[in-house]
Every structure is written in structure tokens, then in C-alpha cells.
Structure 1
């Protein structure tokens, strides 16, 4: 196996960065988990020491109970880890390109690479369990049996994806992996301690849900795609089955927004506010601009570009997150065009908010840009946010709309695009 020269200046810089970011993965991953101790105090805790994957399964069942999840139709669903085939046995990019993909963590040549791989898996798993916590209360206001089946299937598949990540952690990462797999069941979205901001935002209603699955789950598709070419073979093999299941989630969100537009019961300016809410946080999910972490993930062959095999030549490694976010935005614009086809002829059109608007991560985090990209004063910006995001009165309007028949159109009524 060829390996970068660990004495090189580049590698020394890398080690300095990783000593701050990932040398103690359990500590760095847990920074956002401030609510865990409160959970254990209030509920007595449930997660015993994980020695085997069967122990983790017991903890998973307790997690389901603790969040009040009850899906009778899926009570006999058999969760399992699914592994697909590799497109190639060789590492496809980065400094190890051409070497055989790693089947075991012990084959990975340097500890910072192993730590970074662990973090990638933990963060992916955290999103899966968080999304179930966010969506678990939607069944009470489901607009149809079809929608009930859809949200149940989505939650079950998200749990399976979390199961998959924990199978990787417990199977391949020793005691540290078992600890992190346990922590994935300890954090709570509703305690605001999941690792990424989008997954601590409440999904209060079905307008939230369809917008979330259209845009936040679509970021998930991008992330899974980028991990599908990972140099760690078990992770790459995990992605095919997950991507196949994720396609249903995206279709549910896209069709749901089209159905809302078609029915016309949710005013288009209010639907626009929900899109502003979720798209702005979805942009954040691609990470920081000029990200050194994304660069090293690529250098080490852990995480590629979206549709890596379609790209010719090496990327601008300092702007990998920006590349992914821009590709995502291009896809989103086409989807919004399809939603606009369903709107009444006299309705204003929906647009994607500017990528600088309402950002919590990256170059534009905390900056006072408008939904159309203009710079505002702090006072203007606060007023602007109140005008461009759902306010309490509008949330009450949506809550009152949910039990009413006809607020969302049937699938069969959609206009062909």
C-alpha cells in the first residue's frame, strides 16, 4: 500500500488540525449533547453498556419506547443491516487512489483517518434517529391512509439507516464505536442536542413534513451519494440500499408539496415561508465554506464529490462543500419549477431563498442577508425574518387546517410536468 509521507509539511499540518478536531472523537462528537444528563435524571436512563450488537438492539427497542413511537403496521418489521455491492474494489480518489479499499479499520494507515471515518458515520447515524424524533407525532393529523403509510414507512427506513450506521460502529470500531452507537440513542432532537441544527428543528405539521422530506432529505441523498465511493468498503456497501430507500422519502416530499400547491388551501406566500425555513437550514447541512475537514475527507478517500465518477480531473479541494451546495441548489431550482406548475394561474410563484439568507453555518452565518440576497441592517433583518418565516399565528392557521378535508389534493389530480 502506498501512503502519503507522514513527515511532509502537509501531513504535519493535518495532524495539528486533527488533534484539535478529531483526536478525541468521543469528546468532539458529544459537544452538542448537553441534554443527555437531564434525560437520564428525568427518565432514569435506559442504555446499558454495549458489549455486543444484540445489546445495542435492546437499547434501540428502549429508545423507540422512550420517544413514544408506535407504528402498529410495522410492529413485525425485521430491521437488518444491508450491504450492497461495490462498484470497484479500488479507492477512487484522493492520495490513496488505486489502492484496494479498506475492509477493516485496522487496515487504515493512520489514526486521524480512522477518527475522521468514525465521525462521518456518527454524524450520519445521528441524523437518522433525529428525523424519527422530529416526525413521530404526525400520525394524529394524517390527511389520508396513503400519507399515514408513507410517513410510517419513512420513519421505519430512517430507523433502519440508523441501525446500519450503528452496525458499522459496533462491528468495526471496538469500544469507541460501541460508546458512540449508544450515544446515538441518548441524544434527543426535542432536547435540542442532536449534532446538526436542522435535526433540532420541530416538524410540527404536514407542511413542515413535506418540505422537510423534499429539501432536508435531499441533502441526505447528496451525503449518501458522496459516501457511496468511500475508501472504507463496509461504508460504501451500506450506501446502495440506503439510497434506494431514500428515493421514496424524496418522492413523498416532492409530491406532497405539489399536492399542497394544487389544492390551494395553503396560501402560496405562506408555503413560501415554509420553504424559506427548511431550505435555509438545508444549505447549512453541506458544512462550512473553505472546509479543511471536507478537504481531508477527500484527500484520504473517505468522502467523494456528488456523483464522483462523473467528474473529470481533481476538484478544487478547498471548496468541496461549496461545490456540493451549488449542485444541490441547481436540483432544487428544477424541483421548485415543477411545484409552480401546480399553482393556480394567478398565484405568485415559489422561489428558492438566496443561499446567503438565514444561514447558521459557513461564510454567511449570522449575516443579515435578505431572502433575495440583499444586505440589511440588523434591525431590518429581524423584521425581515418575521416577514419571511412562519410566525405563531400562521403556525396556528396550519394546525387548524390539518384536520380539514381537502387541504391537500389527491395524487391523481396533479398536472403532468
Structure 2
């Protein structure tokens, strides 16, 4: 790591080299403001939960009581930053095949915002955590999703086409919303203050996914059973992102006050008891409930008599947790058939090689309904030269 940055300006130069290496043209950002943003008021001044509740939030890393807590903060910030840059590496190539001008704009804006979020996390590492932080900030630019060495498996998965992209932004980016929300009450004030602006931008990512899936349904070109298989693929991926069911890391992060529950402030106001042993499972439950409601909204756009879309059970197709690689159906039941029966079941419920071939032809049609761009979106220049 010969180019370990000593200053923030050094890191920015390395970031530009990363853009060049992954083939991201800076002009695709248009007038997007790649900047560091904090919402100090929303972050609050007092630690809200855990063993240090009631004390002033920590504004510098040396105020954090123990090295193990500082290490946990560095790890959380690093993982969050890693996902942001990985998403750009996964999605960059899609700009060349955008189905509409609006979708090109939306994807380019999402990638610009993901880079800003990565900047924000790198800034925290560079500014508050000394040489350890500088080292991790540089590593954010050295790992690459195309090489399969990003920290979380979901962010190494190929995203070959726009159907994947719409499902990804609908379901995987929604996991991101939950993760940011749980960090928004952190006892480390610069981290908590970073979350407000990031959450505002994240809402556009989720909207892009839900809007894209609605427009797919309206166009009526993609078969609904095929759409369901891609939903199953990315929902199960998102379920994994919440981590193992009983997590000691989540337990101690709560005890230390550095990562809370989803809707922590509402739960504190409602005197909702915390179960430190099942924090990941609780967050996954809230996520699952939300996406069930979102898919129910999509069903309102289906043609009359069509089979309803659904959200697969949390046990289905898991690679992490108690049901890792267990044979469970989309409704959560344990599968009891033969190996051949299981293979046939999976082929009916997850995307197949034939689906990928069929999509090549379907994408030649108007497979997603048009969406006009606003005057402001056009004037922004975001994605215009992609």
C-alpha cells in the first residue's frame, strides 16, 4: 500500500484513480455535488442507549472509552463505505444499455450518490481514526466487486442487466436504508450526523426500484413468473445482509451505543424492551414486513386475474444464519422431496440460464414503460454523456 493517503486531498486523488480504474467517467455526474455533508442537529448531543446512555456523544475517536469500541466503529464505517463503492463497480456498465433516458439519469444519479456516501465514510476514517483509518480508507479503493473481494458477498454478485438493477434497488438498497437508520442514533456523533443526508439520498434509490418494477408490470413484456424469480433472488440476498440471527457483534454494538435498533428513538419513547441477542433478526423482521407492503402495492398494477407477486419467506435461499443452505420453500417450510425434486423446485423459483437467454430477446422490446424526465433532471446533466 505504497500510496497510503496522508491527507484528505491525497485520498481524493486516489479516489479519482479508482474512478479511472473502474471506467467511471466523471462527466457522468453532471452538476452533482460530491461533498461531505452532516446533519448535526438530527444526530443529537446525548448518547441514547446502551451502557453510556445519558453521557455526551463522542465527537472524537479518543473520547470513545475503549480500543475495542473504536475498532468496531472503524469496522462499521469501513463496511458501509465498501458497499457504496462496490455498487458503482457492479452497476457502471448498465449506463450503456439504459432502457430509457430517465433510467440512464436515475442510474447515474444513484451511482453519484453512492460515491458521495463512500466519500463520507472515507472522510470519517481519514479524519477521526488516524493511521488505522487512513489504511482502511485506502482499502475502500483497492477492493473491487469485479474481483470478488468486496467485504459482503451481495456486493460481489454480477448485475448483468436492468431487471437485476430494478430488483436490486428495490430490495438490496432498502437493506441499506435500514443499516443507515440503525447508525443514525450512534453514540459517535460524526457517524450519526452523516446518516441524515445519506438517508435522504437513499430514498431516491428505493424509489427507482419500486418505480422501475411498476413500469415493468405496466409494459407487460416480462412474464410475471420470471419477474417473481428475480424478486426471489434479490430478496433472499437482502435477507442475508442483516447478518447472522444471534450476533455478538450486534449485541456489543448496542451495549456500547454505537449502533441501535431500527426506529430506536420511537422504541425508546414507547419503552420497547430490547433483545440484544436477536437484534439482527429484529431488523430483518422489520425489513421483511416493509417489503411485503411494497410488493402488495405492486400487485395493484397487475392485470386482472394475474397471479399475485409475493415476498419469499426469510428462510428461503439463505447463505447466512440458522437456515444457511437449508432446503426451505418460498413459504418457509422445510422441503422434504428428493434431490431431483429440489433441483426442479429451485429452477422454478430462482432465475435460470434460460431466463437470461430469454431476457436478451425481451429487452429488444419496450419492456419497461416510459417515464419522462423533468426539466431539472435534464438540466442537471447527470448521465447525459454516458
Would you say same fold, with TM above 0.5? yes
Match of 2:129 among 173, 190, 193: 173
The residue aligned with 2:84 is 128
Q: Number of residue pairs matched?
A: 366
Q: Matched residue of 2:75: which SS?
A: helix
Change (3 A) 1:216 1:338: same
Kindly state the Cα deviation for residue 399 of structure 1 after the two structures are TM-superposed.
2.7
Change (3 A) 1:242 1:370: same
The residue aligned with 2:360 is 399
The residue aligned with 1:297 is 253
1:198-245 deviation line (CA, Å, top 9, x unaligned): 111111111111100000000000000000000000000000000000
The residue aligned with 2:152 is 196
Change (3 A) 1:275 1:86: same
Change (3 A) 1:353 1:137: same
Query: Structure 2 length as normaliser, TM-score?
Result: 0.92
1:33-52 deviation line (CA, Å, top 9, x unaligned): xxxxxxxxxxxx9x712111
CA RMSD of aligned residues (A): 1.5
Within 1, Cα distance between the matches of 2:371 and 2:296? 18
Within 1, Cα distance between the matches of 2:321 and 2:10? 39
1:232-262 deviation line (CA, Å, top 9, x unaligned): 0000000000000001111110110111111
Q: Matched residue of 1:136: which SS?
A: helix
Higher relative contact order (CA 8 A, sep 6+): 2
- After the TM superposition, which residues 204-215 of structure 1 pair with which residues of structure 2 at under 5 Å, given as runs? 204-215=160-171
The residue aligned with 2:347 is 386
- After the TM superposition, which residues 101-120 of structure 1 pair with which residues of structure 2 at under 5 Å, given as runs? 101-120=57-76
- After the TM superposition, which residues 12-411 of structure 1 pair with which residues of structure 2 at under 5 Å, given as runs? 48-70=3-25, 72-74=27-29, 77-87=32-42, 88-311=44-267, 312-377=271-336, 379=339, 380-404=341-365, 406-411=366-371
**Farther off after superposition, 76-85 or 350-359:** 76-85
Kindly state the Cα deviation for residue 76 of structure 1 after the two structures are TM-superposed.
5.7
1:325-355 deviation line (CA, Å, top 9, x unaligned): 1111110011001111111112211100111
Gap runs ≥5 in structure 1: 1-44, 413-417
Q: 8 Å contact 2:100–2:370 — kept in the other structure?
A: no
Q: 8 Å contact 1:91–1:98 — kept in the other structure?
A: yes
Kindly state the Cα deviation for residue 308 of structure 1 after the two structures are TM-superposed.
0.6
Within 1, Cα distance between the matches of 2:32 and 2:211? 26
Gap runs ≥5 in structure 2: 373-386
Within 1, Cα distance between the matches of 2:218 and 2:170? 16
Q: 8 Å contact 1:206–1:402 — kept in the other structure?
A: no
Within 2, Cα distance between the matches of 1:330 and 1:296? 26
The residue aligned with 2:377 is none
Kindly state the Cα deviation for residue 401 of structure 1 after the two structures are TM-superposed.
2.4
Kindly state the Cα deviation for residue 86 of structure 1 after the two structures are TM-superposed.
3.2
1:49-69 deviation line (CA, Å, top 9, x unaligned): 211111111111111111111
Within 2, Cα distance between the matches of 1:153 and 1:75? 9
Q: Matched residue of 1:337: which SS?
A: helix
1:151-171 deviation line (CA, Å, top 9, x unaligned): 000000000000000000000
Q: 8 Å contact 2:37–2:120 — kept in the other structure?
A: yes
Within 1, Cα distance between the matches of 2:224 and 2:188? 45
Within 1, Cα distance between the matches of 2:364 and 2:126? 43
**Farther off after superposition, 379-388 or 281-290:** 379-388
Q: 8 Å contact 1:86–1:236 — kept in the other structure?
A: no
1:310-339 deviation line (CA, Å, top 9, x unaligned): 112431111111111111111001100111
Once superposed, which parts of structure 1, at least 4 consecutive aligned residues long, lie more than 6 Å away?
A: none
Q: 8 Å contact 2:236–2:316 — kept in the other structure?
A: yes
